Structure 1
């Protein structure tokens, strides 16, 4: 099981997450309580291993700005987390993660048709797109990862529920932000616990 720790803002949290098995680190460039300046992200990324995904999270940003940000910061993947039309981003020469809000009545068959390298299933947006700490009804996407190998699961995950979520959805990767925080800051013990729980699912 792959793990992405998102909303990283400090060198300490990024290094700790990677040392304990994180496969991807997410940096939020959209308006958010976890928004990070491009040069701050660059400093953190410069210290990360080449094998780790460096994911930039954008909401309704134009492709040109995304490309420039990716080059400056050293991103390896782009996450589109708004209402973007994929056609406008076809010239971005990096793998694209497309978020999909899952809610009752959602037709998940459209997930198969998305022209994206990876599909991130998340709860519907509230004040911000993503990172709200709310999970969606996993029954709505039960077993989707068994026949679609590019599914990333997000939305309200934490160390207490991640194993149940993995069993239900069978994703390629799980993505957490608020679920590894205490008082709005990344909590190293929660990061370690989450990664251990997520990766331990295969040992049972």
Structure 2
């Protein structure tokens, strides 16, 4: 547990597609869920699914909507139908686009070098935080791979959310090394099937183990 007076690291569980998984996130003590509105993703949800999931989330747990290069109409249709507290943009959107929806937003950055993060703080003045994810050509996120955490500069002007390949086995070390404001996980807490991870289906025991390690970190 964090020492007295020390800020606790927050956590978001992303790629939620089922009400039972959302409830497991809440029970484990996570701070936010992520709903993916990007149809190419196996973790994508419809507006109808999202509405039902969001309705099961109590106060003080943030419902985050994730988009990749959406149109204004696509974003607005979700906001009109679903309780959304925060927007996460994962594509090539600029600050002006991101700020127009009357919701706070965070911007995902696919990290290749330290300057990417420094420049993003300038390019996205309206972002509440930067979400740092692994760079993989042609993949906007959800790679399941870590990046070189030593690239993260100290004293960035915006809080950072660390993502990319986190799981119960490495998140405590990640928190100790990077000291992010928050961490974000998706594939690292998914259920195992006969052919590997069941993308979009979470494992409640992995979620709890992840949160235990977040508190330990």
* TM-score of the pair, normalised by structure 2: 0.86
Q: 1:9 aligned to 2:25?
A: no
Counterpart residue number, 2:35? 27
Q: 1:123 aligned to 2:144?
A: no
Q: 1:126 to 1:38 in 2, by over 3 A?
A: farther
Native 8 Å contact 1:149 1:171 kept in 2: no
- Residue 117 of structure 2: SS of its match in structure 1? coil
Q: 1:192 aligned to 2:200?
A: no
Q: 1:110 aligned to 2:119?
A: yes
Q: 1:151 aligned to 2:151?
A: no
Native 8 Å contact 2:22 2:56 kept in 1: no
Unpaired segments ≥5 residues, structure 2: 1-8
Native 8 Å contact 2:90 2:141 kept in 1: yes
Higher mean alpha-carbon deviation, 52-61 vs 148-157, is at 148-157
Unpaired segments ≥5 residues, structure 1: none
Q: 1:73 aligned to 2:82?
A: yes
Native 8 Å contact 2:128 2:158 kept in 1: no
Q: 1:96 aligned to 2:105?
A: yes
Name the CA distance, whole Å, in 2 between partners of 1:165 and 1:50: 28
Q: 1:6 to 1:151 in 2, by over 3 A?
A: same
Counterpart residue number, 2:147? 136
Counterpart residue number, 2:70? 61
Name the CA distance, whole Å, in 2 between partners of 1:108 and 1:8: 27
TM-superposed deviation, 1:164: 1.1
Q: Tell me the number of residue pairs that the alignment of Structure 1 and Structure 2 aligns.
A: 199
Name the CA distance, whole Å, in 2 between partners of 1:110 and 1:12: 39
Name the CA distance, whole Å, in 2 between partners of 1:73 and 1:140: 37
Native 8 Å contact 1:3 1:175 kept in 2: yes
- Residue 165 of structure 1: SS of its match in structure 2? helix
The CA RMSD measured in Å over matched residues stands at 1.6
Name the CA distance, whole Å, in 1 between partners of 2:160 and 2:28: 23
